Structure 1
Amino acid sequence: MANRNNVSEFIFLGLTTDQDLQKACFAIFLVLYVAILTGNVLIIATVKSSSRLNSPMYFLLSYLSFVDIGYSSATAPKLIADFLVEKKIISFAGCMTQLFVFHFFGVTEIFLLTVMAYDRYIAICKPLHYTTIMSKSVCKWTMRALWLGAFAHSMVQTLLTLHLPFCGPNEIDHYFCDVHPLLKLACTDTYIVAYVVIVNSGMVSLVSFVLLTISYIIILVTLRSRSSEGRLKALSTCGSHITVVILFFVPCIFIYLRPSTTFSEDKGVAVFYTIITPMLNPLIYTLRNEEVKNAMRKLWRHCNKGTVLF
C-alpha cells in the first residue's frame, strides 16, 4: 500500500507529441464525438417514438446506441481535452474509474452484438418461432444478464489493477487507462494478472467473435433457398452487422488476446473500437435500413411541425 501511494496521478503520452498535429486532432476528434452523440441519440429517439420499430431487433439497436454513447464517452472527452494541454494528467481514482467504465460498456457491446447476431439467426432461420423465442420479456431479461455480466467482468479487471503496486514512473503510453499499459508500470510480477486479462477480455472477444461468425455462416447458407427479394433484404441487414463485427472485434482481439506486451500501433488500433465503431454504427444501421430511415423522416416532419406550432 505504501508503494502504491507513491503514484497519485498518471500522465498520458497521448496519440502524438506534435503540437500542430494535436490541434488538427482536436478538431477531428471533436467532430467525430459530436457525430457519435448526435447519431446515437437520433437512433434512440427514432426507435422510442416510432410504433413500427417495435421488433426485438430495434429494441436491441436502441440499447446498442445507448452503449455506444457510454462507451465512447469513457475515453473521447478526456482525449479531446488533452489535445489542448501539454501535460495530460489523470488522477489515480480517475484512472481506475475510466478503466471500469470503459470495460463495462465495452463488454456490454460485445455481448449485445452477439445477441443481435442470434436475433438475426432466429428471424431468418426460424421465422415462425421468432416472436416466441425473442419475446419482449426475453429481451428484457437478456439485457439484465448483459449488464450483470459486464459489471462482473469490469469489476475483475478494475480490482486486479487497483491492487497492483505502482512505485513510478507514472507515464502511460496511451490516451486512456487500460490494463496492459498499466501493467507495464506496476512494480511487481504481473504474470498472473496478465493471464487473467487474456482470459477475461481476450477470450470473451474471441469466443463471441467465433459465435458471431458461426451465426452468420448459418444465415448465409439458409439464404440460398430464399427468394431473391427476401435474400437481398436479409443480406442488407446482416451485411451491416458483419461490418460492425469486423471493425470492432478484430482490433479487440489484437489488443487483448496476447500477453501484457504493448506496441506503438496499439493506440491507433484502439481508435477503431473506441471512436470509429461507435460513430459508424448509426450510419451502418440507418443507411441500409429503409424502416429506420422512414421513421427518422416521420420524426423530422413531426419535430418541424412542433417547431412551427411553437
Structure 2
Amino acid sequence: MHDTYILLVSVIVLATIFDFINGFHDTANAIATSVSTRVLSPKVAVAMAAVLNMVGALTGTAVAKTVGAGLVETIAVTQLTVVSALLAAIIWDLLTWYFGLPTSSSHAILSSMLGAGVATAGTGIIIQKGVYKVFIGLVVSPVIGFFLGFLLMLLLMWMFGRSAPSVVNTLFKKLQIASAAYMAFSHGNNDAQKTMGIITLALVSYYKLPVFNVPLWVMLLCATAMAFGTALGGWRVIKTLGMKLVHLQPIHGFAAEASAATIIEIASRIGLPLSTTHIISSTIMGVGATKRLSAVRWGVAGRIVLAWVFTLPACAILAWVICKAAHLVI
C-alpha cells in the first residue's frame, strides 16, 4: 500500500510537470501568429496566453473524462501504467521542443497511455470505441482546420478586398488581439483537461472509485501548471509556426486563430481531445494557401507533418518499453 501511494504521488507530480511542459511547448499555438504579425509583443502575448489558458482550463471536464475513462479500462490500470505514460510523453515533448518541432502533446500523452496500457494488461485493455473516436478526431480535425482557415480567409478577402490596406491592417490588429485571446482560452480548455483526466484516472485506480469525476483541486492544479508553463513560453516553436511556415499579416493571423479556436472549443464541449498544435498549424497553412500555394513553405510543413505522424508510434513504443522495464524493476 505504501509503494502504491508513492506511485500515486509520482503520478500527480509527473502529470503536473507534463502539464507545465505542455504549456511551455504549446504557447506558440495561441500567440505565434500575433507575435509574427507584430500585433502583440512577445511579453504581452505570453502574459495574455497564460491567464486565458488558466481560465479556459477551469471551464469543463468533458475531455478529461474521455481521456481518463474512454481509452483504456480503468479497472486494469495501475499507477505504474500512468507513470510510464507520463514519462514517455514528457521525454517526447522535451525532445521535440529542443528541435523546435510543433508536435502534439495530445498525441504524445494519448498514444503513451495506450502503449503503457498494453504493456500492463495486453491489448484487451483498450476501449476500441473510445480510441476510434479520438483517432478520427485527431486525423480529421487538421483537414477541417485547413479548409475552414482557407474559406474564412476567402470570405475576408471578398469583404475587404476593396478597402485600403492601412484600414484593413488597423482593423485586424485589434481583431487579432481578440482572436489570440480566444485561441488561448480554447487551448487551455482542451489541453489542460487531458492532464486532469490522467490524474483522475490514477485516483480512480488507487481508491477504487466507482465513478469518474474530476475533483476541483485537480482542475486548479492543472490550470495553474499550464499557466506557469505558458508564461515561460516556447520560443523555438513560436519561430517555426509564426515565422517559418508562412508570412502572415494581421488579417491572416485573425483568420487562422479564429478558425482554430472555434474548432477546438466545439470539440472541447463534446469531449473530443484534439491536437491544438495540429489545428493551428493547419489553419495557418489554409490561410496561407489563399495567397498562392507557394506562399506556404511546404518543406517546413512536410517536416511538421512527419513529426506528427511519427509521434503516435514513437510514444506508444517508448511508453511500452518504460512500463515493461518498470515492471521488471518494481
Q: TM-score, normalised by structure 2?
A: 0.28
Q: TM-score, normalised by structure 1?
A: 0.29
Q: Which has the higher helix share?
A: 2
